[in-house]
Amino acid sequence: MEWFRGQIIGQGSSATVCLASSTTSAAVFAVKSAEFSQSQHLQTEQKILSTLSSPYIVTYKGFDITKEKNKLMFNLFMEYMPHGTLSNHGGRLREPVIARYTEQVLKGLEYLHSRGLVHCDIKGSNILVGEGNCVKIADFGLTKRLNESAGVPLAGTPAFMSPEAVRGEEQGYPCDVWGIGCTVIEMATGCSPWPKVKDPVSMLYHVGYSGEVPEIPRFLSEEAKDFLEKCLRRNPRERWSASQLLNHPFLGEFSSKDGDCVVGESNNNSSSSWSPTSILDQGFWNSVEESELPIAAEGEFVQTCCVHSASDRIKKLALCSGGPNWNWESENWITTRGNNNGKGEGSCSCCCIGGSIIASNSASDSWCEVEESNNSNNNNNVIIINSNCRISRCCYEEFKCREVRVEVDSVNFDIMQPLTLDIL
């Protein structure tokens, strides 16, 4: 097949995924490439993927070997899944979405297990999201046949590996079920199933020997919690199989009532449910703690930003809250404090608090904060012209803000001092 390589759409520890298209048709597909000398996992994936045919497994389209920049490259062709991986969607998915995706992944696992295969690396970044709200299992570089798993070296991503696999005892079908439980937690929280364990070596020890299981998010329904409990039993013989889990009420409840779900729809029926109203509202922050998600194909580990800083936390909250409406022509704006006289002047009453002057316009009752002037001739009078302070009714009703200061769209000062607006 004649083809040419497009832009990079994914990068792993040993391979790169690019868009590709045929030179003889309009077909678009994905090509996963690695240097031939380092393509052992990719060749294993090609051999396994070429034998599979399931609507819940990414479709195999062939392979070839090319020479690029004086290097031999092994290229694996697969169907293109336009919505990336589950991990790309940031977590905090609604339960119907989680149930829909989980059902499809379990059907893919049921198919693999029926053919004597153990995936060994089930996690959000190995689940691809396509059109029509479908998800498919991908990345078979660590996949083993069940009768070959005994004595085979440790394989997988530590945060998603089962205790028995970490201890090197066995890596059978139950290890994929454990991975399903960890992936559901990842979809629900957007974080590693072990957010408090950061070091990869400590992760392996903790998973294998602590006697603990990943913490089940408190905000999930009782059905979802029970589903996770069936997946995350430390004794592999007590874990439910993929076939048993497909009959669990958690999946049946949502698949029967909600049908198809929207790709990437966040857990946000009511934004106020997930938007913290004060620093004491701990429910949201419990699920966005720092974590490290290791990539284990070649024993390398990279830090993935779950939420590492205050700015990242705010960004994640914003992603869960939807976009604001800043259309000033809309009728959904309420004037909270404003100058009813159009262009008017008023001498402001001022007081000094913490090195800053807090000024209030007597005509408009609008508040702002200006830095204290070092000019001894400054009489601390500030003229505010055409100050207008409004809040969107739709934002207020949707996000249930407890406190709103002001948004000022036009302010003029007769003393040219740096201006700091106190805006929430």
Catalytic residues: 121
**Rounded CA gap, 31 and 212, in Å?**
40
The residue among 292, 267, 304 whose CA lies nearest residue 188 is: 267
| List of residues 6+ apart from 212 with CB closer than 8 A | 206
**Rounded CA gap, 218 and 117, in Å?**
34
**Rounded CA gap, 5 and 66, in Å?**
11
Q: In this structure, are residues 179 and 187 in contact, taking their beta carbons and an 8 Å threshold?
A: no
The answer to whether the annotation marks 144 as part of a ligand binding site is no
- The angle subtended at Cα 47 by Cα 43 and Cα 53, nearest 5°, is 135
The values of phi and psi at residue 191, to 5°, are -125, 170
Residue 230 half-sphere exposure toward CB, CA atoms < 13 A: 17
Two tokens, residue 76: 């694996």
Sign of CA dihedral 214, 217, 221, 222: positive
**Rounded CA gap, 229 and 239, in Å?**
9
Two tokens, residue 238: 């007590």
**Rounded CA gap, 160 and 186, in Å?**
10
Query: CA dist 242 to 179, 231, 299, Å?
Result: 11, 9, 28
**Rounded CA gap, 289 and 308, in Å?**
8
Helix residue ranges, H only, 6-94: 40-49
Q: Residue written as tokens 């062709």?
A: 77
The residue among 37, 136, 90, 143 whose CA lies nearest residue 268 is: 90
Two tokens, residue 82: 């336009």
- Residue 322, sorted as left (phi over 0), alpha (psi -120 to 50) or beta, turns out to be left
Q: In this structure, are residues 226 and 250 in contact, taking their beta carbons and an 8 Å threshold?
A: yes
The values of phi and psi at residue 243, to 5°, are -65, -40
Q: Which residues are annotated as a binding site for ATP?
A: 32
Q: Which residues are annotated as a binding site?
A: 32
